[in-house]
């Protein structure tokens, strides 16, 4: 059932395409509920990354984290791409969304086994993780097949999506049951990820030839990405809170207090920078930019969640069971911040087809986390080093708010002229 004109509408409905210029299109309560599962999954991935680094397996933990985050974010992107175009909110759509939510939970439950297998060189154990992923994707295939049946105009692109998603799932199942060693397992995963990434490109190109590319809504899609950005930033707050709890038990110091304050300020500064650009307006006039814009967010969300894991790592400095160097903590926070700033810069440039204003300031800001890491290696207190990392996003915000916004507004006005 769905709400239409203030009333509930019962029964199954045809999965017809939504209008790309539908007035007042926003995230639905079901979509917000769906996002809650990713709050939990991001938290598990971040905790496992922090624990792996604390144990000295930083490379293995990072590889597992990137693999886990890609799986989570990719599944989320595909669900929301479909929903933006075909969400009819009938009872079957809702039940299939619940199945996808269950898949996210199962995937999250399987993350510790994945991290452990990569960290200790055991058999590449992604069985439970793949089980959850496949559950999500089978539900998505069913949604695309519903669109195939209900929407002849979009049949070509919908069938292509269903074929690519279904084919990849067969591969993931084979990868899980073959019990490969970590290196072979990761190589197999990379091949399957290539199929996953290629699917939307082929589907949209095939549909576009007949003027029937997926009818996603620019404002709805931009809002969905903005909401997941906020959810990912919540991991930074949770990581800070986790470290603050440890610090409170061990005793506060000036350096510890500064570290906690930086965690809160960092989440706010990253939020501020992301929302400098009105993505919805630009996507509305430049629809051809959407796929790569969405792909770029895989790295963006991964970087944000990694920042949260870095702040979670601060608590391990106080734990005598771990021999954790302060340099590792500063690096674990600084590198993801630099990646976030770099990816956001490139996404801005991609949407407007030009280098963003203040590029000297923005590119210089990316170097500040590198400086902070070098200072940490030289023995500078963690709190001071993290203040330098914080200066990277803060300097960008300051530049725009102190006058750079004029150049940004002029650029956005030019870019918002309809092109496709």
| Percent of the chain residues topping a pLDDT of 70 | 94
- Residues facing residue 9 across a β-bridge: 2
What average pLDDT does range 121-135 have in this prediction?
A: 81
What 3-state class would DSSP assign to 7?
A: strand
What 3-state class would DSSP assign to 87?
A: coil
- Alpha-carbon distance 259 to 190, whole Å? 37
Confidence band of 36 (pLDDT split at 50, 70, 90): very high
pTM recorded for the entire structure: 0.93
Confidence band of 257 (pLDDT split at 50, 70, 90): confident
For residue 3, the model assigns a pLDDT of: 55
- For the cut 80, the answer to whether the pLDDT of residue 110 exceeds it is yes
Average pLDDT, the chain: 90
What average pLDDT does range 274-299 have in this prediction?
A: 95
Contact in structure between 389 and 372 (CB atoms under 8 Å)? yes
- For the cut 70, the answer to whether the pLDDT of residue 8 exceeds it is no
- For the cut 50, the answer to whether the pLDDT of residue 1 exceeds it is no
What average pLDDT does range 286-299 have in this prediction?
A: 95
Q: What is the pLDDT of residues 300-326, one digit of tens each?
A: 999 999 999 999 888 888 777 888 889
Q: What is the pLDDT of residues 38-51, one digit of tens each?
A: 999 999 999 999 99
Residue listed under structure tokens 């926070």? 333
For residue 92, the model assigns a pLDDT of: 95
Angle, alpha carbons 351-71-264 (nearest 5°) = 65
Contact in structure between 327 and 369 (CB atoms under 8 Å)? no
Cβ atoms within 10 Å of 310's Cβ, excluding its own: 31
Burial class (CB within 10 angstroms; exposed 0-12, middle 13-18, buried 19+) of 140 = buried
Contact in structure between 210 and 283 (CB atoms under 8 Å)? no
Give which of 301, 224, 297 is closest to 35, Cα–Cα.
Answer: 224
User: Cβ contacts of residue 10 below 8 Å, gap of 6+?
Assistant: 1, 91
For residue 116, the model assigns a pLDDT of: 87
- For the cut 60, the answer to whether the pLDDT of residue 281 exceeds it is yes
- Alpha-carbon distance 72 to 49, whole Å? 15
- Alpha-carbon distance 384 to 204, whole Å? 48
Residue listed under structure tokens 């576009």? 208
Comparing 7-21, 53-67, 164-178, which segment has the lowest mean pLDDT? 7-21
User: Cβ contacts of residue 120 below 8 Å, gap of 6+?
Assistant: none
Comparing 3-7, 30-34, 362-366, which segment has the lowest mean pLDDT? 3-7
What average pLDDT does range 172-201 have in this prediction?
A: 85
- For the cut 90, the answer to whether the pLDDT of residue 35 exceeds it is yes
Enclosing H/E stretch for 8: strand 7-9
What average pLDDT does range 235-259 have in this prediction?
A: 77
For residue 10, the model assigns a pLDDT of: 65
What average pLDDT does range 336-340 have in this prediction?
A: 97
What average pLDDT does range 250-264 have in this prediction?
A: 79
């Amino acid at each position: 059932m769905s709400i239409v004109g203030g009333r509930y509408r019962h029964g199954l409905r045809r999965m017809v395409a939504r209008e790309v210029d539908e007035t007042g299109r926003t995230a639905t309560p079901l979509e917000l509920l769906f996002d809650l599962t990713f709050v939990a999954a991001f938290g598990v991935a971040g905790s496992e990354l922090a624990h792996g680094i604390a144990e000295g397996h930083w490379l293995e933990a990072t590889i597992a984290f990137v693999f886990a985050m890609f799986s989570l974010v990719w599944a989320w992107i595909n669900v929301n791409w479909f929903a933006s175009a075909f969400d009819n909110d009938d009872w079957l759509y809702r039940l299939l969304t619940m199945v996808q939510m269950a898949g996210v939970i199962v995937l999250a439950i399987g993350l510790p086994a994945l991290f452990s297998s990569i960290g200790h060189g055991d058999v590449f154990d992604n069985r439970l993780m793949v089980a959850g992923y496949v559950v999500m994707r089978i539900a998505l295939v069913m949604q695309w097949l519903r669109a195939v049946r209900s929407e002849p105009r979009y049949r070509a692109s919908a069938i292509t999506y269903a074929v690519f998603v279904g084919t990849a799932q067969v591969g993931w199942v084979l990868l899980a049951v073959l019990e490969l060693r970590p290196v072979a397992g990761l190589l197999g995963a990379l091949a399957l990820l290539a199929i996953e990434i290629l699917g939307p490109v082929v589907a949209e190109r095939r549909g576009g030839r007949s003027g029937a590319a997926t009818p996603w809504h620019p404002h709805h899609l931009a809002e969905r990405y903005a909401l997941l950005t906020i959810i990912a930033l919540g991991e930074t707050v949770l990581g800070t809170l986790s470290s603050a709890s440890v610090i409170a038990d061990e005793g506060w110091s000036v350096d510890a207090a500064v570290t906690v304050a930086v965690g809160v300020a960092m989440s706010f500064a990253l939020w501020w920078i992301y929302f400098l650009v009105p993505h919805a307006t630009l996507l509305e006039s430049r629809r051809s930019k959407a796929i790569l814009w969405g792909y770029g967010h895989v790295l963006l969300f991964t970087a944000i969640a990694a920042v949260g894991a870095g702040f979670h790592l601060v608590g391990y400095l106080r734990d005598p069971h771990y021999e954790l160097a302060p340099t590792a903590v500063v690096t674990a926070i600084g590198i993801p911040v630099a990646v976030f700033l770099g990816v956001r810069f490139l996404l801005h440039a991609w949407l407007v087809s030009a280098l963003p204003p203040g590029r000297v300031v923005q590119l210089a800001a990316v170097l500040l986390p590198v400086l902070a890491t070098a200072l940490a290696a030289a023995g500078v207190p963690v709190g001071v080093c993290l203040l330098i990392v914080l200066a990277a996003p803060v300097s960008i915000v300051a530049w725009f708010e102190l006058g750079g916004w004029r150049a940004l507004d002029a650029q956005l006005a030019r870019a918002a002229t309809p092109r496709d």
